[in-house]
Every structure is written in C-alpha cells, then in structure tokens.
Structure 1
Amino acid sequence: MTTLLCLGFGYCARHFAARRAGAFARITGTGRNDAQQDGVEMIRFDGAASPALLEAARAADIVLASAAPLEAGDPFLPSLGAALAAGAGKGPLIYLSTIGVYGDTGGGWIDESAPTDAAAPRARRRIEAEAAWRALGQAAGRPVAVLRLGGIYGPGRNALADLAAGTARCIEREGQVFNRIHVDDIAGAIGAVIDAGFDGILNVVDGEPSPSCAPVAFAARLMGLPEPQPMPFEQAAASLSPMALSFWADNRRVRNDRLIALTGPLAHPSYREGLAALFAAGEGGGQGSRPSGGRAP
C-alpha cells in the first residue's frame, strides 16, 4: 500500500483523507501544531522542516499540497523540495490551486488552455507556485497534477450554515458569475488523479457558473426562509476586505470537460444538488439535523 503526505492538512485534505483512508498504509499531515487526527500522523510545520517531516517527504508515494503561497512563495518547497526530489516515491505531486489564476475574462468561457494572466498579487503568487511544483516534478521524474479549484463548499461551509448562523450575505454585481465545487467532488478529483497518474492542469469546478446570490436564495428556500434581498456590489464594496475585493474583480465561466472525462459525472453538478444533499444531511436544520444545531466538524 502507498503512503500519502498532506502538506497543509486543511478542509480539502481532511475530507480526502477521511474518504480514502483505507487506500493508504500511512497518512501524514502538517499543521501549526502536532495535535493528532484520527488515522493521520500530524507533524508541526512552522516554516522549517523537522527531521520527521523530511523523512516523511522522502518516503511519500503521493504528495497533496494545499497550503496557499506566502509573499515569499510556496511555504514548503524551500525546505522540502530537495527531499521530495530525491525521495523514493514516484507517485504524483498534487497541488491544489485556484481558478483565480485566469484573471478576468469578462464572463467569457475558458478551459485549461486559457492563459494565466491574472494581475492580483495573490493570483500571481499562485501562478508562481504552480510553476515551482511543476519544475520540481520534472526534476524528480514525477507527474504533477495542478487542480484549479472553484469556490469550495461542503459540510459546515455553505450557504445553509451561513443562513443558520445569521452571517449569510447576498451581494450582486450585474452579469457576474462564479464557479463552485463541492468538497466531495474535490476529493473525487484527487482520487481520480492518483488512480490515473494524471499529469497536467485540471479545472475542478461545477458546470453551472452562477451569480453570488443564487446559492443563498436556494438555501433560503430549502430552509423555508424568505430569500434575502440582494445588496448591490457598489454599496457593499466599502465594507469588503482587499481579499474579497480581488475576488469580485474577476468574472469568468470555467469549463469542466476535462474533469468530467477523468472522473465521470460529478456527485454535485451544481450548487442545487450540493445544497440539497447537505440539507438532507442536517445542514441548516434539515432532516438529519442534530439537536445541538452545531456546525459539522
């Protein structure tokens, strides 16, 4: 059986590890501390690789990197790149990126062949990190799968939970749409990449780019609540963070044909199927809701 190293054991990595735990002899993850997770050996990473992490990097058959780059670049490659390149593992290096690298296309449709000419500093750092991981793979003789993700949602992280918590926002900008992706389908894409030994770029998005308010309105209908009144972007802009403003600066429609060819039909082809499944599982007070009403872990 193979070993998996998760560089940044966040939302997507946790979900994938739980879904495919039985497929790996050993799963190692990194975090800000070494608090252990069920079935996962956690190693603290604070910018410098410990001997334990270097050993895990040299031994890993498959590497899943999901940490965002810092101003200085990818947080892991400076201390782990040599170990990953020289290690015995030759399985794929999987880098979770973002469709933000494409920048603004004025709402036009694009696929993986589109140029990555985003101007925002955060997106530029992502582009540079993608290139660094691909260069490492070439040097190590390992396939590199760059998964460009849409807006992530799933258990505990969705419009239903936001409405229940009173934190949902409905901001509209005329003509602007966004692709999303359920974490179940992200996990499915990671598994398919591993199984196929995929090497290249993959847009991991749903097939229905839609306005920002659409999932919030649909979630409200599921919960039997009034649909929130949209707030014009021009009115909301003054209260948005620089990160949020950079998100709203881009308008694009991203195709997922390559993803579907690799994985088959998505479990949640749009936000409607995804939110309906989450509601049925108890999110937002749905049929499976726990009496405590708490967020999913």
Structure 2
Amino acid sequence: MFKHAFIFGYGFIGAAFAEALRADGYTISATARAPEKRSELTAQGIIAVDPTDPTALKTAVEQTTVILLTAAPNDEGCPAFTALSPLLVSAAAPRRRWIGYLSTTGVYGDRGGSWAFEDSALNPISREGQRRVDAEQQWLGLGQHTGDCVTVFRLPGLYGPGRNVLERLTDGTARRIHKPGQVFSRLYDSDCATALMASVKRPRPGGIYNLCDDEPAPADEVLVYAAQTYGFEVPPEIAFDDPNLSGGMKRFYAENKRVSNALAKAELGWRPQYSTYREGLAAIYASMSS
C-alpha cells in the first residue's frame, strides 16, 4: 500500500515524526513558507509545499492518508484549519485519513499541582491556551463531518537535541527560576513521535491523549540535576516573581499541574523511552559528547 504523510508545520516535532514515518515506509510532504526552507526539505527527500499555494496544498491533501498539524493558532485562528479544512471537506478520496492535531496541556490551565486527565475540565488562563481549545474543537468537529480520524494530542514542554537545558548550560543562557511547589510535565521529542505513530496504527476517531513522561518535576530541579551531574556551574536562583522576568515567563509559571499519560499507555500501548528527565538528559549528553 502506498503510504504518504503530510506535515503542516515542519518544526521540532514535525522533524521527529518524519523520521519515524520514514522508518515505517512513508513518503513525506511538508509545508515551509521560506524558499530556503523548502530547498532544505527537498534536499532531505521531503516534498516541500508552499502553504500559500492552494494547488500544492490540494495535491498534498489528495495523496495523503496521514496528516500532522503542528502550527500554533494565532489571532486569526488555526492556520492549518483555514488552509486545509475546505480541501478536506471536498476531497473525494481517501476518506478516513488520520489527522493528528498537536495541542498543549495549557488547555487545562492552573490545577494547583493536581493531576490533569483527558476528561478534566478545560480552563485555560492564557490567550494562547484558549486558542488551543478553539482549534481542538474545530478539528474534532471537522472529523465528525468528514469521517476522518481526527486525534488531539496535548503536549507539555518538549525537549531533545537542539532544545534542552544542557545546551543552555553550555552557552550560558540557562536560568534557574524557583517557585515553591511548582511542577511541570515534559516530553522527549522522539517519544512524542513514537506516540503519534502508535496512534496511526491504532486510530480512534475523536481521540484525545496527553503525551508526557512519567515524572512531573520542578524546572529548577531539572536544571540543578543537569548541572551537578554533567559538570556545569549551578546558575543562581531567581524568584518566580522577579520583576525582570518576561511576561511569557510569568505566564509559564502561572500554571502548576501534573499531567497523566495513563490513557495513551492504555489505549495506544505506548511507553516513553525516556521515562524521566534523567534518562532524557543522559541521551542528550551522550549525543553532545560523541
């Protein structure tokens, strides 16, 4: 069977998912706005698609059975929904495409450190979180209309090669911000990709899954562990209410929750390879040292 996937928004997770797809025999199309980025994708054997080109988008949609949507919504809404929903509604075949939408655990808002499950009430406290709630509803509604297998994945902070605390310690940009009782969930990029592939193989229309590792932990605890374990100086502590912190950082620390991955494990048979930040950092350090 011909297997083709289309990634709308080829970034950090798009690249990890593409690697997993290739290993499973898929050819891949992906969007990129900049001509130089499209050239890079072409050089990697990926069919580059200009997201502003309706003809190219139509071709990509018509030939694919797997679509991943990674682009974040903005003031105008979800750019992927605006661009693709008319094509998905009108496309004659194939039906029952797998469509994965990457949302965030920010849809749960602040839970005071308690656990968030897929059926927990959504209470976003940021504009960005509300946009994600709106986009989730758009895509799930589209799946009901078209018969496609739309699945929503709620992601925490992602890390991996190119985006991690060890590299920030190396270049001196790591900041040790402390808020008593604060915890965050996180996920290694390749573990996100394997969960997406597990969903492709076990599709459930309307499915919603939290994806994260097994151990929520304070961000400053992770930083101190990384510094002490791998020979870096521990940065000085910064209070979470320091007036010099950016608005984005303050919003980040306004939410405190533990995110459960139990449903993804139970339904998809998925297990994170890097079950805590310790295993993930060890893998990153090994790659940096090789």
TM over 0.5: yes
Contact 1:49 1:80 in 2 (8 A): no
> What secondary structure does 2:241 align onto?
helix
Contact 1:192 1:263 in 2 (8 A): yes
Tell me how far 1:201 sits from its aligned partner. 0.6
Aligned residues: 280
Q: Give the Cα separation in 2 of the matches to 1:25 and 1:209.
A: 34
Identify the match of residue 247 of structure 1 among 227, 245, 252. 252
- TM-score norm. by structure 1 comes to 0.90
What amino acid does structure 1 have at the position aligned with 2:245? Answer: L
What amino acid does structure 2 have at the position aligned with 1:209? Answer: P
Where does 1:147-296 land on structure 2 (aligned, <5 Å)? 147-199=153-205, 200-235=207-242, 238-261=243-266, 262-282=268-288, 286=289, 288=290
Where does 1:6-85 land on structure 2 (aligned, <5 Å)? 6-33=7-34, 34-37=38-41, 38-45=44-51, 48-85=52-89
In the TM superposition, what whole-angstrom CA distance separates every residue of 1:149-192 from its partner, at most 9, and x where no partner exists? 11100001101111011111110111111000000110111100
Tell me how far 1:276 sits from its aligned partner. 0.8
Structure 1 runs of 4+ aligned residues shifted over 6 Å read none
Tell me how far 1:24 sits from its aligned partner. 4.2
Indicate the RMSD between aligned Cα atoms, in angstroms. 1.4
Name which of structure 1's ranges 256-265 and 207-216 shifts more when overlaid on structure 2. Answer: 256-265
The equivalent residue for 1:294 is none
Q: Give the Cα separation in 2 of the matches to 1:127 and 1:93.
A: 17
Q: Give the Cα separation in 2 of the matches to 1:99 and 1:198.
A: 20
Q: Give the Cα separation in 2 of the matches to 1:85 and 1:142.
A: 10
Contact 2:3 2:65 in 1 (8 A): yes
Contact 1:28 1:42 in 2 (8 A): yes
Name which of structure 1's ranges 5-14 and 213-222 shifts more when overlaid on structure 2. Answer: 213-222
Q: Give the Cα separation in 2 of the matches to 1:8 and 1:59.
A: 18
Tell me how far 1:25 sits from its aligned partner. 4.3
Unaligned runs of 5+ in 1: 289-297
> What secondary structure does 1:175 align onto?
coil
The equivalent residue for 2:143 is 137
Contact 1:102 1:116 in 2 (8 A): yes
> What secondary structure does 1:76 align onto?
helix
Tell me how far 1:82 sits from its aligned partner. 1.6
Q: Give the Cα separation in 1 of the matches to 2:156 and 2:269.
A: 16
Unaligned runs of 5+ in 2: none
- TM-score norm. by structure 2 comes to 0.92
